[in-house]
Structure formats: structure tokens, C-alpha cells
Amino acid sequence: MPAGSLGNIAQPADQAFLVKEGRGSKLYDFSGNEYIDYLLGSGPMVLGHAHPAVVSAVREAAERGSTYFHNNWPAVELAEEIIRAAPCAEQVRFTTSGTDATFQCLRLARAYRKRDKVLKFEGGFHGMHDYSHVSLSPRPDQLGAFPAGAATSGGIPRAVLDTVLVAPYNDLDRTAAIVEQHRDELAAVIVEPFQRILTPAAGFLEGLRELTLRHDIPLVFDEVVTGFRLAYGGAQEYYGVTPDLAAYGKIVGGGYPLAAVAGRAGLMRYLDAAAVDADSFIPQIGTLSGNPVAAAAGLATLAELRKPGAYQQLHATGRRLMDGLHHALNEAEIPHYISGEPVNFDVYFTSHPVTDYRSGLDNNSKLTARFNQGLLQRNVYKPSQKFYIALAHTEEDITHTIRAFHETAQEMRHDSL
Ligand SMILES: Cc1ncc(COP(=O)(O)O)c(C=O)c1O
């Protein structure tokens, strides 16, 4: 395995562990350690690990066969549920990963617009395809003048760099100027409505909606993280802005390989050979698309999330942790900015608000590493740049985590980082 890992998490050797199992809010390693898990599989495990309702749905589905490549009942039911949940969803097409879902959204927009260019935001993450790797996490020496982007991976074709325009998140005026200038070349605007842990400024998403409608440019929301997390209807419901297309992943597959494209029928029709001309039709095929076991896991997960109080609980848990973190860092007199929504947040070690990719660049990454390490030493696992909250997080988990915040912050106060 290159780098000795799956590629997802780079843990220093002295902190590395191998997961043996996950149950509820906890992960267990092979040395008998138990961790309160705030990674949650990078988001899908919103109910916690091995939730009984999901395990039993998966067991039942698996006994009927693992995959068919054919229309099947759990997939149809899940498509119907996404349409009930998501304001933009008139039709649904399944993929296996969030990467493929955002990629298909861009292709749909190009088929509709008969133009090539797409606009994304600096620091916006849409998976691992070439378009997403334009200015995903540019180094300071790669930051140029908008809308030029930089390749943040090896192997990105020059042609793709020329196809993607990059704008600063939360800056409607600059985005509008780029869109106006390139409106005749643009096929799509794609955005994480809540970009990583950056919340949209008042009017930003509404402005994007108005701007894209004015020029008939499809607006794509990447809801891979936010779908069924911020609210049952995702960012669209939470922020009250409806895009033309949305990409789903993570929670919608209940921890199994499933993702989806949802959107207005007028765009989704390009996936139907009978509805469009032969040159515009998009054949979209996937061996595991609409996998029945994953769809059953997704349906069982969504059924739990529809129970009264689920989202109140998720937000309340996250709010208490955000407040506890703020208090711990204040007490230790460590400059910080806590960013995000209660269900998904993290801390920047900086002394000013962060509103876009560039304003987050002076985060003290040594302090971030030190903070994550201090938490891990106290069996609180938050390896990447954000806390994910689950319904499985208990009162005890919250108390333990807030204690870990205080102890770690007090240790950091005496470090000279
Ligand atoms: C916002 C966003 N979009 C797309 C993706 C890609 O999803 P996947 O890892 O399923 O390809 C991710 C993954 O973390 C994501 O956070």
C-alpha cells in the first residue's frame, strides 16, 4: 500500500492504529483502545457504527443477493425518498461514489448548455476527479489571480485547468464578475453550499442562485457532506436555496458504497436516450449503481433520521461541543476561530474570522496537529480538519470530549509552538 495507508488519513507513525471494529460512537483498535469517533467514516455514520436497524436491513438485503446491475426495489424506494427529501430533486440517478456524482452533475450541465467551462470555488472539494483537483487545496505559492486555477494533484491535464474557472467562496461580487465575463462559455457553477467548515455569508447562496438563473447556467450543489446532515433536506432546506442539480453521497448510502445525482427533470433527461437527441444523451453506467444492499442501508439510515427530534439532537450535541471548545481555548488564552455548523465544525488557530480558503491559510498547522494529538491521547479521535457529529454520541462522550478539550488546551498553553 503506497504510503502504508488507504490514502485517506496520514497519521504520524507514533499515533497510527488499525481499526478492529466500530460500534455506536466508538472505534476500537487491535491494542484494546477505545476512541470516541468524530471522524465517523468521514461522515456517513451519522447514526454511529453498526446501528442495529442498519445492520438488520443489510443482513436482510444481503440474503437476497449482493448486486444485480438491474432495477431493484431498495434502489427505487431510495430514489423516491431522496425526491421527497430534497427540494431540487425531481429525478434521481445512482452512482457509487460522491466523486462520480459530482462528475456526472458537471457532465449533465455541459450536455444541457453545450458549453465546456465550469466554475468552482477555491478550496471546494468535489471528490477526486480532474475538475475537483483544480484549486482544491492550493499551496500559498500556487495562489494566483482569479479565475485561474492551480492543479493540486499530479496528473491533471492542462486542458482541464483551462476548463475550470475558480472564484473565492463567499465573495459574490467577484464571482458575479467572473460569471458575467465568461457567461457564454460556462456550463455550470458548482459549490459546496457549506464549504468544508465555512458557512455561507448572508446572501451568498441566494446571490449565486439569482446570478445562475439570470444566465441559465445550472447551479450544482455538492451535498455529499451536507445531504441529510445539516437537515433532512440537506443544505437546500437548511439555507433555503434550491439548485438545479445536487450530488449526494456519504449518509445516503448508510456507510455502504452508494451516491446519487438528483435534480430538475429538464436536466436529468439527458440520462434518458428517448428524451434527447443522440449526440446529447449521456450513457451513465456503473457496476454497483443502485446496489440493493447499500440502498437498504441508506433507507434504514434515513428512517432513523426522520424520527422526531433527530436533527435537534444532532445540532444540540454539536453546539455543546463547539461551546465547550471555545471555552477551553479561551481559558487557555489560545487565539482561535471556531468555524462551521454544529453538525460539522472545527477550529482554526488564528486570531481572525475565516470566510474563504485564503483567509484560513494562516491557521497554525502545528497547533492543529498538537490539538488533534492531545485529543487522541485522551481517546478522542478527530484526525482530519473537522468534527462530524452522530446521533450515537452520548452524554458521557460529550463530557469526556469537553474535558479532553480543556486538558489539551492547558497543555498547549505551555507549549511553545
Ligand atoms: C463535499 C464532497 N464532495 C465529494 C466528495 C467525494 O465523495 P467520495 O469520497 O464518495 O468520492 C466528498 C468526500 O469527502 C466531499 O466531502
Ligand 1: distance of its center to the CA of 363 in Å?
A: 23
Q: What is the pLDDT of residue 301?
A: 99
Domains, the chain, ranges and CATH? 2-51+308-414 (3.90.1150.10), 65-305 (3.40.640.10)
Task: Using pLDDT thresholds of 50, 70 and 90, give the confidence band for residue 417.
Answer: low
Q: Note the pTM of the prediction, 2 decimals.
A: 0.98
Percent of residues, the chain, with pLDDT higher than 70? 100
Q: What is the pLDDT of residue 416?
A: 60
Amino acid 383: pLDDT: 87
Per-residue pLDDT of 34-74, as tens digits, reads 999 999 999 999 999 999 999 999 999 999 999 999 999 99
Predicted confidence band of residue 138 (pLDDT cuts 50, 70, 90): very high
* Residues 87, 107: Cα–Cα separation, whole Å: 21
pLDDT digits (tens, 9 = 90+) for 172-210: 999 999 999 999 999 999 999 999 999 999 999 999 999
Counting ligand 1 atoms within 8 A of each CB, the residue from 95, 153, 224, 256 with the most, and so the one to mutate, is 224
Ligand 1 mutation target, pool 94, 125, 128, 221, most atoms within 8 A of CB: 125
20 CA distance to ligand 1 centroid (A)?
24
Residues with CB under 6 A from ligand 1: 42, 97-99, 102, 125-127, 192, 222, 224-225, 249, 259
Whole-number mean pLDDT of the chain?
A: 97
What is residue 414's predicted lDDT score, i.e. its pLDDT?
86
